[in-house]
Amino acid sequence: MPQVISIGGVALGVSFKGPSVPLGWEEYAPFRVEKPADAGVLSVTGGRRPARRGGASELKAAGGVKTASYSRDDFSLRMSPKACTLSVAENPYSFDSALRVLYSRLLADREGLLIHAAGLIQRGRGFLFAGKSGSGKSTLTRWVGREKALSDELTALRFDGKAPSIYSTPFWGELSRGKDSRQAPLAAVCFLGQGANNLVTRLSTADAFRSLLGTVLWFDPSPRATARVIECAARVAGSVPCLSFAWKKDSDPWPALERAL
Amino acid sequence: MITVYRKSPRLAHRVIEGEGFIVDPADQKLHHLNPVAAAIWQQINGKRDEAALAGELREKYDVDRGTASRDVKEFLNVLLREGLVEKVPS
């Protein structure tokens, strides 16, 4: 019987062939749900032996509107409308990587995105803090407090009707994984940088769209699937305030952000 | 024989606030078009040749024939070089 996990509101059944489950599977416990897997079932086979030692090879992706395949040395993932299969090396990193790739596609197929951003909740509202490595996502998350964080690295976003919400993921960066799964309506997208003082600038929809596209986790070469990502990013850019936020390290970010909204 | 231009079918693209964005899924490259370039891009439909595209640009921006022809020619060369449009004999 597959165990079902839900990330970004997308429920995926996961079944393991053979006696063992991937190392680190217990870390996904906060995302287990007792409901049908609307995204199908992922059949996982462990024991894949990478061809090379140390480091992951480049990801190769191929696909169409309904099917996709992704492979690198340590995993091979195939998706079709009826089933997904994963052959993976037996370490927690490979399974985690494969799940990130899989969910980047599952979310995109369902009006969602997986975004390189810290997701934080303030007074019941969700804020995305997007930025490159070193921009301060994890530092900000640490300062705001783990209890308010959906992730410090990869946050799921999905439209539920007209409005987007952001969701916890098991995909964390510098900080260890959170212990729960939460969601919040998206109040703003903040493109994070560092500054001597907290400075917030509102972006035009076009600039927000361009910045947001640079933060979306996406591997699929299919034009139609890519078009869905673009449409979703455009909807986000047009539906919530998008801000450039230069954050003064170790200062309270919320007053400046609240003033801008 | 007239040569018309069409957008490469592998691309995803969108115009937002007059600016054009083209994503090439093959290399995940994002191309950003200013409003004039986006206006030309939107007119590329597999049926218009260089002259027709220049005509559309003159109508939209009220520019002289020479400027419109030059802008369209330069832009089409860039698009061809980047593999974003294809020439189609008509």
- pLDDT tens digit sequence for A192-223: 999 999 999 999 999 999 999 999 999 988 88
The least confident of A19-28, A115-124, A213-222, B72-81 is: A19-28
Longest dimension (CA), chain B: 37
pLDDT of residue A174: 85
Q: State which residue of chain B sits closest to A216, comparing Cα positions.
A: B28
CA distance A86 to B23: 28
- The verdict on a CB contact (< 8 Å) between B23 and A213 is yes
CA distance A188 to A245: 11
Name the band, by pLDDT with cuts 50, 70 and 90, for residue A179. Answer: confident
Q: Does B19 touch chain A (CB under 8 A)?
A: yes
- The verdict on a CB contact (< 8 Å) between B30 and A220 is no
CA torsion sign, A45 to A51 to A55 to A60? Answer: negative
Residue A50 has pLDDT above 70, yes or no: yes
CA distance B19 to chain A (A): 7
Residue A22 has pLDDT above 80, yes or no: no
Segment (H or E) for B5 = strand B3-7
Name the band, by pLDDT with cuts 50, 70 and 90, for residue A186. Answer: very high
Question: Best residue in B7, B13, B17 to probe A by mutation, most A CBs within 10 Å?
Answer: B17
Q: A-chain residues within 8 Å CB-CB of B26?
A: 221
Mean pLDDT within B49-72? 93
Q: Please state whether the predicted TM-score (pTM) of the whole model is above 0.90.
A: yes
Number of Cβ pairs closer than 8 Å across A and B? Answer: 47
Q: Does B21 touch chain A (CB under 8 A)?
A: yes
- The verdict on a CB contact (< 8 Å) between B25 and A226 is yes
- The verdict on a CB contact (< 8 Å) between A226 and B16 is no
Nearest CB neighbour to B25, from listed A210, A214, A223: A223
SS3 (DSSP) at A65: coil
SS3 (DSSP) at B32: strand
Nearest CB neighbour to B23, from listed A204, A226, A238: A226
CA distance B81 to A109: 32
CA distance A98 to chain B (A): 19
Segment (H or E) for A140 = helix A137-144
Segment (H or E) for A234 = helix A223-239
Q: Does B73 touch chain A (CB under 8 A)?
A: no
Q: Taking all residues of chain B, what is their mean pLDDT, rounded to a whole number?
A: 93
Quick count: other Cβ atoms within 10 Å of Cβ A91? 15
Q: Per DSSP, what are the bridge partners of residue A141?
A: none
Name the band, by pLDDT with cuts 50, 70 and 90, for residue A113. Answer: very high
Per DSSP, which regions of chain A are E strands? 3-7, 10-17, 41-45, 60-63, 68-72, 75-79, 84-88, 112-122, 125-130, 149-151, 154-160, 163-167, 183-194, 199-202, 242-247
pLDDT of residue A20: 66
Q: A-chain residues within 8 Å CB-CB of B14?
A: 209, 230-231, 234
Mean pLDDT within A12-39? 85
Residue A55 has pLDDT above 60, yes or no: no
- How many Cα atoms are found within 13 Å in the side-chain-facing hemisphere of A166? 30
Q: Which residues of A touch B (CB under 8 A)?
A: 204-206, 209-210, 213-214, 218, 220-227, 229-231, 234, 237-238
Q: Does B7 touch chain A (CB under 8 A)?
A: no
Nearest CB neighbour to B21, from listed A204, A210, A225: A210
pLDDT of residue A184: 98
- The verdict on a CB contact (< 8 Å) between A223 and B12 is yes
Name the band, by pLDDT with cuts 50, 70 and 90, for residue A133. Answer: confident
Name the band, by pLDDT with cuts 50, 70 and 90, for residue A54. Answer: low
Q: State which residue of chain A sits closest to B31, comparing Cα positions.
A: A210
CA distance A69 to chain B (A): 14
SS3 (DSSP) at A201: strand
Q: Taking all residues of chain A, what is their mean pLDDT, rounded to a whole number?
A: 91
From residue A79, how far is each of A40, A181, B27 by CA, in Å? 10, 25, 21
Q: B-chain residues within 8 Å CB-CB of A222?
A: 25
Tell me which residues of chain B, numbers 32 to 71, contact chain A at a CB-CB cutoff of 8 Å: 32
Amino acid in the structure at residue A117: A
